[in-house]
């Protein structure tokens, strides 16, 4: 029996490490074969702070995915996140060089190189260069200029950069766990690609990826990323608040948060229903009502959504939330909190939905969850890099050489 090509997505998060193994199907799509998810140790706010603890979590997550898939793997596509991530929009201009003025792949590659020629500090490297639109002479809004006739070609791009040292630590963990890193990709970008439809990207959509240590945001306009940022607060802060207020261990409060927690108090049905919290060190158990628990969770989630709203309005200079015809899509582990879409809809005054991974087969309903969007997005990204598709992450770039400079940087580093 012949097998298709395998892709392995490795999401190294603050609260969990997830590995997804996928294989190309006969139809050319992707089928999920195995998933492994374990608690993460050794990261703080998306950045590795303990190599040994992180590599153990990586090895265990991949081992679980291998056992489920019945396959052994040697290389992975790894996600990267953290408050060191920065992004900017840039523009490049070149003259069309062919005699007949027909735009070729060479011209597109040249204009992308011109657009990415921005000055960066020595400790930063370009992670992604994503075309937003092209301009041929004075004609704007072109998504694919190949074979068009023109004298001047311009490209507007979204450039994502990251810390070299943060990337090195991620690579070291994966390599010491015994695996090769094929490429690095931004967590929120691949998660957005996994949960958004093409129409949502075209209409304008804000993706909010709520992880354990960080909340990652990406604003799409006219089919491409327009603004990217990271807020150093995530679901762990909610658990920490509950642990401090109710004087109980974090693991206990994480379980109670997911089982009984509601982050939008108007949805609480039985206000006075009591939830028992086990005592610590021989202390008697305590109780908290559902309404009180909801109010504690809601306070921190309001802060997270308000920080996102303020950052987008201030830094992206984006004030017309109702103009986001695609609304807001929540993903990541924080999207599993009951009431999260309703609370976000009230704060942003726009429709909100929870984003579930799209574009892959082999998933049961139990595994098709927003907290796996990044890992599934990573295998989709790997598949995109190998295929001749029209993904915004690959279109318009020679990704095997210059489109993902971290890929070349990886070869130089190791």
pLDDT of 334 over the 80 cut: yes
CATH of 235-296, one of 3.40.190.10, 3.40.47.10, 3.90.640.10, 3.50.50.60: 3.90.640.10
Q: What is the 3 state secondary structure string of 304-323?
A: HHHHHHHHHHHHCCCCCHHH
Per the model's pLDDT, the better-predicted residue between 271 and 59 turns out to be 59
pLDDT of 208 over the 90 cut: yes
Q: Which pLDDT does position 401 carry in this prediction?
A: 35
Confidence of residue 363 (pLDDT cuts 50, 70, 90): low
Please report which residue ranges of 37-160 form alpha helices under DSSP H: 51-69, 105-115
Residues 6+ apart with CB under 8 A from 297: 238, 241, 242, 257, 261, 262, 263, 337
Per-residue exposure over 38-56, b if at least 16 CB sit within 10 Å of its own CB, e if not: bebebbebbbbeeeeebbb
Residue 216: which H helix or E strand, with range? strand 215-221
Q: Which pLDDT does position 387 carry in this prediction?
A: 66
Q: Which pLDDT does position 297 carry in this prediction?
A: 92
Q: Coil, strand, or helix at residue 51?
A: helix
pLDDT tens figures, 170-180: 888 888 888 88
Contact between 332 and 210 (Cβ < 8 Å): yes
Domain extents for the chain? 86-161, 235-296
Residues 6+ apart with CB under 8 A from 389: none
pLDDT of 308 over the 90 cut: yes
Q: Which pLDDT does position 187 carry in this prediction?
A: 92
Across 312-338, average pLDDT: 82
Confidence of residue 398 (pLDDT cuts 50, 70, 90): very low
Distance CA 262, CA 292 (A): 10
| Strand arrangement of the beta sheet that strand 16-24 belongs to | 30-39, 16-24, 6-12, 75-80, 180-186
Across 40-59, average pLDDT: 77
Per the model's pLDDT, the better-predicted residue between 350 and 4 turns out to be 350
Across 208-233, average pLDDT: 92
Q: Which pLDDT does position 25 carry in this prediction?
A: 78
Contact between 294 and 263 (Cβ < 8 Å): yes
Backbone phi, psi, residue 365, to 5°: -60, -30
Give me the percent of the chain exceeding a pLDDT of 70: 89
pLDDT of 162 over the 80 cut: yes
Mean pLDDT (the chain, rounded) = 85
Distance CA 136, CA 398 (A): 20
Per the model's pLDDT, the better-predicted residue between 48 and 301 turns out to be 301
pLDDT tens figures, 91-116: 999 999 888 899 999 999 999 999 99
Confidence of residue 320 (pLDDT cuts 50, 70, 90): low
Q: Which pLDDT does position 383 carry in this prediction?
A: 85
Which residue has tokens 């209409």?
Answer: 203
Cβ neighbours around 247 below 10 Å, total: 13
Give me the percent of the chain exceeding a pLDDT of 90: 38
Q: Which pLDDT does position 402 carry in this prediction?
A: 34
Distance CA 232, CA 78 (A): 20
pLDDT of 360 over the 50 cut: yes
pLDDT of 309 over the 90 cut: yes
pLDDT of 222 over the 60 cut: yes
Confidence of residue 321 (pLDDT cuts 50, 70, 90): low
- Residue 60 token pair: 């265990």
State the pairing for strand pair 180-186/205-210: unpaired
Q: Which pLDDT does position 397 carry in this prediction?
A: 44
Q: Which pLDDT does position 390 carry in this prediction?
A: 43
Per the model's pLDDT, the better-predicted residue between 398 and 220 turns out to be 220
pLDDT tens figures, 237-262: 998 998 899 888 888 888 888 888 88
Confidence of residue 399 (pLDDT cuts 50, 70, 90): very low
CATH of 86-161, one of 3.40.50.970, 3.10.20.30, 3.30.1490.110, 3.40.1190.20: 3.30.1490.110
Q: What is the largest CA-CA distance in the chain?
A: 85
Backbone phi, psi, residue 302, to 5°: -60, -40
């Amino acid at each position: 029996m012949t097998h298709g090509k395998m892709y392995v997505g490795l999401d190294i998060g603050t609260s969990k490490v997830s590995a997804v193994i996928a294989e190309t199907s006969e139809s050319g799509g992707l089928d999920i074969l195995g998933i492994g998810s374990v608690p993460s140790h050794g990261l703080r706010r998306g950045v590795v702070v303990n190599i040994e603890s992180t590599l153990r979590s990586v090895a265990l997550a991949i081992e679980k995915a291998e056992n489920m898939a019945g396959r052994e793997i040697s290389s992975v596509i790894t996600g990267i996140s953290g408050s060191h991530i920065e992004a900017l929009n840039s523009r490049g201009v070149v003259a069309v060089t062919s005699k007949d003025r027909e735009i070729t792949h060479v011209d597109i590659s040249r204009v992308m190189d011109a657009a990415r020629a921005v000055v960066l500090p020595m400790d930063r490297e370009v992670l992604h260069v994503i075309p937003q639109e092209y301009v041929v002479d004075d004609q704007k809004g072109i998504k694919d200029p190949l074979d068009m006739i023109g004298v001047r070609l311009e490209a507007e791009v979204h450039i994502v950069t990251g810390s070299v040292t943060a990337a090195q630590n991620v690579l070291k963990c994966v390599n010491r766990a015994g695996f090769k890193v094929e490429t690095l990709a931004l967590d929120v970008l691949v998660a957005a690609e996994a949960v958004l439809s093409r129409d949502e990207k075209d209409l304008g959509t804000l993706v909010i990826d709520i992880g354990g240590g960080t909340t990652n945001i990406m604003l799409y306009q006219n089919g491409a990323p327009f603004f990217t940022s990271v807020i150093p607060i995530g679901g762990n802060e909610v658990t920490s608040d509950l642990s401090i207020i109710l004087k109980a261990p974090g693991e206990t409060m994480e379980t109670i948060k997911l089982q009984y927690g509601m982050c939008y108090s108007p949805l609480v049905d039985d206000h006075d229903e009591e939830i028992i919290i086990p005592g610590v060190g021989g202390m008697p158990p305590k109780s908290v009502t559902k309404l009180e628990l909801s109010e504690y969770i809601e306070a921190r989630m309001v802060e997270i959504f308000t920080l996102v709203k303020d950052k987008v309005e201030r830094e992206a200079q984006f004030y017309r939330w109702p103009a986001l015809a695609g609304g807001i899509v929540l993903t990541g582990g924080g999207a599993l909190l009951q009431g999260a879409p309703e609370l976000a809809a009230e704060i942003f005054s726009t429709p909100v939905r929870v984003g579930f991974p799209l574009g892959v087969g082999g998933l049961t309903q139990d595994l098709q969850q927003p907290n796996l969007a990044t890992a599934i997005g990573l295998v989709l990204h790997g598949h995109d890099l190998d295929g001749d598709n029209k993904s915004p992450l690959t279109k318009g770039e020679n990704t095997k050489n210059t489109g993902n400079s971290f890929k070349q940087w990886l070869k130089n580093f190791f």
